[in-house]
A and B are shown apart, each in its own frame.
Chain A
């Protein structure tokens, strides 16, 4: 089966740079599944999971990204993400604690952080896409 090369870049470093069988990215208007020879798309991202699959549709890695962009062309898929965590690095209890602290805040920035933290929890809870 064909592969598509996938880059995950944050401002600080290159996190993933390899061939993949399929990638699912959280586009602003809904999740986008990217297979090799996908048509050209430029989309912004919402906070959510980026799932990377190998050639046999086995899950290689999953990341959580907060905001960013994805550029897709037939050979390459590039995710530019502002904040990236590996899903396995996220700790549910500390995020829940963070949510509790943020819920009291009224400023715009704390609301934004709250939304991100909540989507982190949602991402941790969901088992979607884990097995195809």
Chain B
């Protein structure tokens, strides 16, 4: 049986934990709003770019060089997987679900006899894969600071990816990230970055194109624009993923901290009940002792 003092100490420590988690929750909530705004601000750019790209891609060019970002290398042997996690923990299953999914994906690809490499984004995936499959990691990006990754980092990652691609180090690049669905739900999503998967953006722009079918004048010409557009699209896609992941992280942390705060509150209630009962029992015991002492006199 713990003494009164033990229980009191425990209540106090749970109380201070509760203070921390509720502060973290509020911080995450305000950061969530900011990263949502950021993600929103980036949307017009990426959606316009996708529309442009899909109207160009249907013209069906083929060839060497940059165009391979669209057409692929024609092989399906080597994969580069890009797991995107946060730098920091305490956000529920946010990081571990990405790591688990990536691990499963890598194993299944290897089961099919493909070779797999990893480019990790975020401290948590770097640390995780450094422990279990260090030899597969070709590059790691981490430490984005408290505001999350900016466009410059997306650009850096995309340049690195394209260097690897044109060096012939992989045929397909797939990014695994947490898609932001709502403040409390994130969805682990796999998206093929290289070669470009144009089936998605096409769907969005179709309705508009049908109404307005007149032809664009291309300056300088379609192929040159496409060659400019493709590398840019890779960095924009990465940027979008980083923003979504950042918003998701804040959302996940907010939910996790909300839970923790609630649990701490419950724990304090229970402990207070035990404390009061123990105290009451103690008083009753003393009273009985006094009364029985008085009776015996």
Contact = CB atoms under 8 A, between A and B. Distances in A.
Interface of A: 7, 9-14, 27-29, 32, 39-44, 67, 69, 71, 73, 78, 80, 82
Interface string B42-67: 10111011001001100000000000
A14 B216 contact: no
A7 B229 contact: no
A82 B224 CA distance: 17
Contact of A14 (B44, B214, B219, B229): B44
A71 B52 contact: yes
A40 to B, nearest CB: 5
Interface string B202-226: 0000000000101111111000110
Interface string B147-159: 0001100100000
Secondary structure at the B interface, as helix, strand, loop or mixed, is: helix
Nearest to A73: B212
* Most A CB within 10 A of own CB, among B44, B56, B228, B229: B44
23 contacts: A7-B44, A11-B42, A11-B236, A11-B239, A12-B41, A12-B150, A12-B151, A14-B41, A27-B219, A28-B219, A28-B220, A28-B224, A41-B216, A42-B52, A42-B216, A43-B220, A44-B224, A69-B228, A69-B229, A71-B48, A73-B212, A80-B52, A82-B232
B38 interface: yes
B214 A40 contact: yes
A46 to B, nearest CB: 11
Contact of B225 (A11, A32, A42, A78): A42
Given A9-B44, A9-B48, A80-B49, A40 B219 contact: no
Interface of B: 38, 41-42, 44-46, 48-49, 52, 55-56, 150-151, 154, 212, 214-220, 224-225, 228-229, 232, 236, 239
* 5 nearest CB pairs, A to B: A43-B219, A13-B41, A9-B45, A42-B216, A40-B216
A7 B41 CA distance: 13
A70 to B, nearest CB: 9
A78 B51 CA distance: 12
B38 to A, nearest CB: 7
Nearest to B219: A43
A11 B218 contact: no
A80 B239 CA distance: 15
Contacts of B49: 69, 80
A42 B218 contact: yes
A80 B48 CA distance: 8
B44 to A, nearest CB: 5
Contact of A41 (B38, B154, B219, B232): B219
Contacts of B225: 42-44, 69
A69 B99 CA distance: 37
B48 A40 contact: no
Contacts of A13: 41-42
Contacts of A32: 219
